[in-house]
């Protein structure tokens, strides 16, 4: 019993050391600065910390947009560009990769030089809350691992809806908390202790990978977020859990 209490106390102390809920209240400029700082190691950490599952999740998300093959796509919070590059499999007419962190787009631009079929991709620096595109511009929008960082998610969803053509699709891929008790406990320990420690070691950034588990924990649950999607004007909204609920795909149709 004493050993258990000692272990529980140590665990709680470790969690408190790797938690930083205050960063969730930071101004957007601070969030932008954080992503600019981790841009050089962003891809490596995504693959390592998700055990490579992020690659499979993106492919699954893009596959759900198959009906829009040959169309125009807006990749919101495109970051280093993995989603936009995955969209090339749909033979798009045009892809716009947008992000508000300049260093992330710089990494994206460097990647484009290695892809011969990427001429259809255009990079735009902008805020997801105020997209600089006219109404009914895109067949589909996609935002992967980004919307939990937005200050006003409902406003961002309304902007996605605005720029979609009729019958267009907005797809959101986001990290989430598993529901199965055993998996949830493992996920909690890993996200609160392992992830921040590995993230700090590789990125040399103190806050970014302490911020990640807090941003996931404070994201709305599936039903609440689906309700938000409908509130933004979408006539259909569905969700698909991935890998025991470690990530979730949300699909809204205009």
At residue 216 the predicted structure's pLDDT band, cuts being 50, 70 and 90, is confident
Around Cβ 136, how many Cβ atoms within 10 Å?
A: 12
Nearest to 147 by CA among 172, 120, 113, 181: 172
Q: What pLDDT is recorded for position 25?
A: 45
Do 191 and 247 form a contact (C-beta atoms < 8 A)? no
Quote the pTM value. 0.85
In this prediction, residue 90 has a pLDDT band, given cuts at 50, 70 and 90, of: very high
pLDDT single digits (tens) 18-65: 444 444 445 667 777 777 667 677 777 677 667 889 999 999 999 999
Kindly list the distances between the CA atom of residue 137 and the CA atoms of 35, 74, 132, 245, in Å, as whole numbers in the listed order: 28, 9, 11, 32
Greater confidence (166 vs 44) lies with: 166
% of the chain residues with pLDDT over 70: 78
Report the alpha-carbon distance of residue 248 to residue 253 in Å, rounded: 17
Band of pLDDT at residue 180, cut at 50, 70 and 90:
confident
Per-residue pLDDT tens for 111-128?
Answer: 998 888 899 999 999 999
The CA distances from residue 90 to 57, 71, 74, 75, 213, in Å, are 16, 8, 13, 14, 32
User: Rounded to an integer, what distance in angstroms lies between the CA atom of residue 156 and that of residue 130?
Assistant: 8
> In the prediction, which pLDDT does 16 show?
41
Average of per-residue pLDDT values in the chain: 84
87-91 mean pLDDT: 96
pLDDT at 81 over 80: yes
* pLDDT beyond 70 at 3: no
Domains of the chain with bracketed CATH: 1-49+179-218 (no CATH), 52-176+224-254 (3.40.50.150)
């Amino acid at each position: 019993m004493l050993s258990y209490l000692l272990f529980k106390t140590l665990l709680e102390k470790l969690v408190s050391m790797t938690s930083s809920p205050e960063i969730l209240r930071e101004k957007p400029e601070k969030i932008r600065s954080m992503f600019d700082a981790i841009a050089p190691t962003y891809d490596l950490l995504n693959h390592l910390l998700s055990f490579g599952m992020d690659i499979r999740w993106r492919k699954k998300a893009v596959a759900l947009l198959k009906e829009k093959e040959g169309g125009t796509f807006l990749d919101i919070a495109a970051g280093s560009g993995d989603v936009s590059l995955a969209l090339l499999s749909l033979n798009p007419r045009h892809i716009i990769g947008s992000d508000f962190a300049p260093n992330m787009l710089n990494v994206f631009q460097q990647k484009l030089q290695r892809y011969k079929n990427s001429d259809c991709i255009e990079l735009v620096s902008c805020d997801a809350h105020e997209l600089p595109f006219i109404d009914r511009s895109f067949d589909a929008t996609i935002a992967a691992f980004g919307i939990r960082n937005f200050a006003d998610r409902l406003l961002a969803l309304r902007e996605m809806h605005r720029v979609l053509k009729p019958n267009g699709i907005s797809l959101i891929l986001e990290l989430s908390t598993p529901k199965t008790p055993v998996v949830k406990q493992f996920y909690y320990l890993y996200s609160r202790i392992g992830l921040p420690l590995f993230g700090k070691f590789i990125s040399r950034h103190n806050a970014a990978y302490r911020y990640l588990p807090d941003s996931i924990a404070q994201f709305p649950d599936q039903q609440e977020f689906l309700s938000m999607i409908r509130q933004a004007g979408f006539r259909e909204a569905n969700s698909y859990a991935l890998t025991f609920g470690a990530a979730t795909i949300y699909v809204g149709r205009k």
